[in-house]
């Protein structure tokens, strides 16, 4: 049995199905490039039939990201598979992942198909996909609630028609580790042929990582996971946790390992968090900001004397070392581009000019910028590869204990300047009201949080919020040395995203996603 587990990353497909996440093509490409640096084996880049936006993002990734296999998801319909192939055809290595549900509940209520029809669909879909590529993955959706004998029949048909990976999804997060391990082992025994067996776990009972690891011990040689465990409902199995469990306790897994460059885990986590607007909980294993923090005196004393007293992993191994000061206000364009290049970001042309202008603005106000500051800045600029309609030109405000908080905001709207002054209960609210009035976009601010990128009073403020318009909540993110300005930037960012989706006429909620029980 191979001693390497294939890391199949589905952050851009299953992860992007999390409520309120809507990444544009530039943001998806940025994440895909980071996943390649991280060393994942397969990137599931999206679900091309789902929307034109998804198709274009998958195609852009297939055309430019090299290293990992680029995979697209498709249902079993021929048009899905054709569209999927169209999107991934230019990849260095391309995989089609096709799926159909095999549980009684999904077949009856969602597919409205008989088990016989499902068998035919599965076989024909795999055979059709094999006409395009010899790398075809098949998943029996809702495997954990499927009749075992029937599911194995379908899996055998998939292998006989050419599937090279059999992925077993716990679509609704129903499985318990021991049971999941037994199921994976039993499938391997029952289904004949040459295939890699894979596990895809959801976290509804908080067991996605435990189930994935049990699957590895039962013979799975691919695990499907996401950065920070983002995904539908309670999420998918968290990649960083699986990887570090295998790396930290090899004796428990027969020495199997992954090809992940673990020093890139923390950065990948921060990038995904910034671009999706999903904060990472402070005590999240491996990548949470407290994962290596020691609060009690006894622990601090122990770690100072010998790190391993209370640390089972070295923070440097997951890239959570000290944030270094890298640039200041005297740094030039060349040093800026060079530092980004060393950090793994290659910006050119307009993107570089824009990022450098933003850097100068921030560096003028903050003495020195760290790698983390630069990462946040690049993430903020990435979305702007798509030309947004509104740009924040300036915000000025006043308030205090005895003054009504007031903000004046100037926006650029396709070259036209819009200036509005508004009041609020606080200065942030006043700035958001002014932006609302200037853009005419009405909605409800549902979430708002401020964190500092690094520590200290001179840290950059990183504001994450959600703005809900017509029942759809969009994330917004903004960065500045000033909290009101960071909030205004985040608010404008959310409004631009809303307008982008409205302009494209696409509603991602209309698509039938795996795990949903709506009709196909
Ligand atoms: O959870 C699920 O069933 C899926 C499949 C498409 C693998 O995401
Ligand atoms: Zn899933």
**What is the per-residue pLDDT across 259-294, written as a single tens digit (0 to 9) for each?**
999 999 999 999 999 899 898 999 999 999 889 887
- Probe target for ligand 1 pocket from 169, 204, 222, 512, with the most ligand atoms within 8 Å of CB: 169
pLDDT beneath 70, residues of the chain? 1-2, 322-323, 382-388, 505-520
CA gap 122, 97 in Å, rounded: 12
Q: For tokens 């090299």, what's the residue?
A: 66
Mutate to test the pocket of ligand 1, among 73, 103, 111, 139 (most ligand atoms within 8 A of CB): 139
**Which atom of ligand 1 is found nearest the CA of 10?**
8
167 CA closest ligand 1 atom index: 7
Domain 6-276: give its CATH code. 3.20.20.70
Cβ of 515 less than 6 Å from ligand 1: yes
Quote the pLDDT of residue 517. Answer: 47
Q: Whose CA is nearest to atom 6 of ligand 1?
A: 514
**Nearest ligand to residue 142 Cα:** 1
**Boundaries of every domain in the chain:** 6-276, 293-382, 390-509
What is the reported pLDDT for 257? 97
Q: Cα separation of 291 and 262, whole Å?
A: 15
Q: What would the 3-class secondary structure string for 334-365 be?
A: HHHHHHHHHCCCCCCHHHHHHHHHHHHHHHHH
Tell which CATH architecture fits domain 293-382: Orthogonal Bundle (1.10)
Contact status, residue 117 vs residue 146, Cβ threshold 8 Å:
no
- The CATH code of domain 390-509 reads 3.30.160.270
CA atoms lying within 13 Å on the CB side of residue 67: 16
> 171: Cβ below 6 Å to ligand 1?
yes
Ligand nearest to the CA of 514: 1
Q: What is the pTM of this model?
A: 0.86
Give the pLDDT of residue 43. Answer: 98
Kindly report, residue by residue over 172-191, the tens digit of the pLDDT.
999 999 999 999 999 999 99
**Is the CB–ligand 1 distance for residue 141 below 6 Å?**
yes
Ligand that lies nearest to the alpha carbon of residue 167, given by its number in the listed order: 1
């Amino acid at each position: 049995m191979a001693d390497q587990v294939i890391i199949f990353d589905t952050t851009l497909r299953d992860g992007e199905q999390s409520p309120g996440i809507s990444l544009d093509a530039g943001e998806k490409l940025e994440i895909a490039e980071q996943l390649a640096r991280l060393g994942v084996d397969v990137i599931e880049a999206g679900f091309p039939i789902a929307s034109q936006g998804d198709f274009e993002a998958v195609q852009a990734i297939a055309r430019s990201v090299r290293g990992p296999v680029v995979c697209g998801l498709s249902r079993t319909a021929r048009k899905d598979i054709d569209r999927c192939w169209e999107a991934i055809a230019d990849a260095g290595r391309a995989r089609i992942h096709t799926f159909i549900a095999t549980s009684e509940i999904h077949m009856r209520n969602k597919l409205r198909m008989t088990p016989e029809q499902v068998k035919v669909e599965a076989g024909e879909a795999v055979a059709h996909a094999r006409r395009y590529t010899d790398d075809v993955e098949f998943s029996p959706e809702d495997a954990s609630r499927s009749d075992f004998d029937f599911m194995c029949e379908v899996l055998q048909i998939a292998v006989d028609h050419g599937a090279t990976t059999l992925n077993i999804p716990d679509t609704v997060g129903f499985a318990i580790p021991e049971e999941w391990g037994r199921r994976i082992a039993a499938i391997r025994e029952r289904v004949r042929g040459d295939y890699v067996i894979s596990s895809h776990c959801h976290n509804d009972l908080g067991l996605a990582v435990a189930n994935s690891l049990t699957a590895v011990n039962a013979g799975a040689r691919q695990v499907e996971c996401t950065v920070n465990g983002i995904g539908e409902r309670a999420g998918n199995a968290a990649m960083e946790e699986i990887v570090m469990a295998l790396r930290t306790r090899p004796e428990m897994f027969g020495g199997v390992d992954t090809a992940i460059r673990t020093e890139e885990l923390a950065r990948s986590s921060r990038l995904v968090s910034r671009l999706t607007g999903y904060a990472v909980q402070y005590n999240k294993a491996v990548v949470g900001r407290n994962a290596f923090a020691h609060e009690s005196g006894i622990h601090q004393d122990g770690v100072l004397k010998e790190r391993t007293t209370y640390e089972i992993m070295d923070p440097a191994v997951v890239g959570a070392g000290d944030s270094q000061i890298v640039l200041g206000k005297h740094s030039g364009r060349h040093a800026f581009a060079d530092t980004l290049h060393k950090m793994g970001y290659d910006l050119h042309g307009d993107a570089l000019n824009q990022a450098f202008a933003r850097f100068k603005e921030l560096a003028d106000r903050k003495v020195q910028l760290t790698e983390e500051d630069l990462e946040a800045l690049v993430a903020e600029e990435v979305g702007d590869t798509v030309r947004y309609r509104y740009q924040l030109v300036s915000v000025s405000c006043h308030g205090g204990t005895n003054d009504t908080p007031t903000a004046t905001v100037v926006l650029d709207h396709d070259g036209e300047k819009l200036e509005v002054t508004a009041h609020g209960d606080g200065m942030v609210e006043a700035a958001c009201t002014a932006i609302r009035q200037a853009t005419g976009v009405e909605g409800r601010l549902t979430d708002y949080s401020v964190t500092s990128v690094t520590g200290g009073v001179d840290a950059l403020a990183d504001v994450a919020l959600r703005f809900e318009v017509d029942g759809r909540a969009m994330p917004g993110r903004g960065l500045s040395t000033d909290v009101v300005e960071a909030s205004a930037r985040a608010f404008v960012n959310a409004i631009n995203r809303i307008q982008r989706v409205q302009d494209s006429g696409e509603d991602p909620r209309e698509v039938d996603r795996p795990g949903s029980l709506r009709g196909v």
